[in-house]
Amino acid sequence: MSVVQLFRAAKAASSNLARANTNLKNSALEQIALELENSIPHILAANALDLTSAQENGVSVGLQDRLKLDANRIGSLAAALRLVINLPDPIGQNLEGMTLPNGLKLQQIRVPFGVVGVIYEARPNVTVDIAALALKSGNAVLLRGGSAAENTNRVLVELIQAGLRTAGLPSDAVQTVDPFGREGAVEMMQARGLIDVLIPRGSAQLIQTVVTESKVPVIETGDGVVHMFIDESADLAKAIPMIVNSKVQRPSVCNALETLLVHESISAIALPKIAAELEAKGVTIHGCEKTLKLISGVAATDADWSTEYYSLDLSVKVVADLDQALAHISKFSTRHTESIVTEDQSNAERFLQEVDAAVVMVNASTRFTDGSEFGFGAEVGISTQKLHARGPMGLRELTSSKWLVRGNGQVRD
């Protein structure tokens, strides 16, 4: 098939999916989970090829971590599929209804978008997560997973299609344009009328390219220059584990901490304790002038404050007060996730109200900004825009709505 024929096949499959009942969609998801569990050696062999290529081509350690699959990660993908099975089916849900004075009965219900396109990099887990959420919400999906994960994604898509066929749904409902290379991504961005919405996931450069060049409506997911502010009232016994978890647990993901702000009134006590824990985990601190008077590290440059590291690097800045912390966040935030650690309720509420981000937290690790942690089973991505969807995107965010009007011969005066 040509790339346009592939798009048309997805469009036809989307009509079939829109009519599929919940039991049929859930059956397909269970079959896909079984295919993954029964094909772990096959998946790992393909993933090993991609990892070897990534190492030979000098791909960063952070992106290699995103690319890597093991038996546990594959098991987690299968588990996520089953979590999606257990979620309520949004399609057909009643959003609003009324009867007009003239007797017309109005009802607004959830419906699928139709065909969802996703362009992403070095994230084979996205292949499964997106497919699961798209299928449960009645959408066909077109995937461009990039050359770094091409072997892994090819196998995953084949397994997903096998599960669809076993369940009696069209395999064209999940397809990849990876064989068409970058031209496939360009064609996706131009396919208005065949693709209903396009979602980019990856680097700031990738996202910006899709946003600026696409003729298809885009839901913008953002890179994560994520901040945590340690207020003067913070309980360090709580704060330090949250800082370490936010930075160290998985530094290559978008909800990992990138900049730590510390109130100067506690900096002399707090920073040495924080630094000792971070350095024990291999973190390199990029500190402001005040920070480096208290702990060791490298001097932060202007670029550090707007950098998403994808690695065990952390920018640290001492600030005078909450006002200065809010100003720094406003200037450098990518509107993804921001967190404050405080025992002062008024400061907590002010932070929640004034910070403009998709997710704003009090006394919590930034790693909780995640669809599965929010109870969505999986996620499409973290939307940092303000129209249609914001924050972790699950099933509901892959739906639109339509109005049903039932009359009895009424005509308008």
CA atoms of 227 and 240, how far apart (whole Å): 14
Q: Is a pLDDT exceeding 80 seen at residue 222?
A: no
CA atoms of 68 and 386, how far apart (whole Å): 32
401 & 257 share domain: no
Chain centre to alpha carbon of residue 54: 22
What are the tens digits of pLDDT across the range 385-407? Answer: 888 899 999 999 999 999 999 99
pLDDT of residue 221: 85
206 & 234 share domain: no
User: Would 288 be classed as within a structural domain?
Assistant: yes
pLDDT of residue 372: 84
What are the tens digits of pLDDT across the range 320-352? Answer: 999 999 999 999 999 999 999 999 999 999 999
pLDDT of residue 201: 87
72 & 36 share domain: yes
42 & 181 share domain: yes
140 & 92 share domain: yes
User: Would 382 be classed as within a structural domain?
Assistant: no
CA atoms of 33 and 17, how far apart (whole Å): 19
How confident is residue 1, by pLDDT bands cut at 50, 70 and 90?
Answer: confident
90 & 216 share domain: yes
What are the tens digits of pLDDT across the range 199-214? Answer: 998 878 888 999 999 9
User: Would 377 be classed as within a structural domain?
Assistant: no
User: Would 413 be classed as within a structural domain?
Assistant: no
**Residue 121, token pair as written in the block:** 């990099």
For residues 177-194, average pLDDT: 96
The mean pLDDT value of the chain amounts to 95
Phi, psi of 162 (to 5 degrees): -65, -40
How many domains does one find in the chain? 2
Least confident of 131-135, 307-311, 361-365: 307-311
User: Would 387 be classed as within a structural domain?
Assistant: no
Burial class from Cβ neighbours inside 10 Å (0-12, 13-18, 19+) for residue 363 reads middle
User: Would 83 be classed as within a structural domain?
Assistant: yes
CA gyration radius, the chain: 23
355 & 400 share domain: no
CATH number at residue 115: 3.40.605.10
Q: Which residue has the tokens 């699959």?
A: 69
pLDDT of residue 127: 96
217 & 230 share domain: no
Q: Under DSSP, is residue 95 helix (H, G, I), strand (E, B) or coil?
A: strand
User: Would 383 be classed as within a structural domain?
Assistant: no
**pLDDT: which is higher, 205 or 155:** 155
188 & 251 share domain: no
CATH number at residue 270: 3.40.309.10
pLDDT of residue 385: 87
User: Would 412 be classed as within a structural domain?
Assistant: no
**Where in the sequence is the domain holding 214, given as residue range(s)?**
3-221+393-406
pLDDT of residue 205: 87
CA atoms of 121 and 199, how far apart (whole Å): 12
**Residue 148, token pair as written in the block:** 């770094």
65 & 22 share domain: yes
Cβ contact 200:43 at 8 Å: no
**Residue 82, token pair as written in the block:** 């089953």
Q: Is a pLDDT exceeding 90 seen at residue 378?
A: no
How confident is residue 229, by pLDDT bands cut at 50, 70 and 90?
Answer: very high
Burial class from Cβ neighbours inside 10 Å (0-12, 13-18, 19+) for residue 57 reads exposed
123 & 146 share domain: yes
CA atoms of 358 and 164, how far apart (whole Å): 34
Phi, psi of 387 (to 5 degrees): -100, 140
**Residue 319, token pair as written in the block:** 């600030």
- Residue type for position 46: A
Q: Which candidate, 297, 344, 310, places its Cα nearest to that of 325?
A: 344
278 & 310 share domain: yes
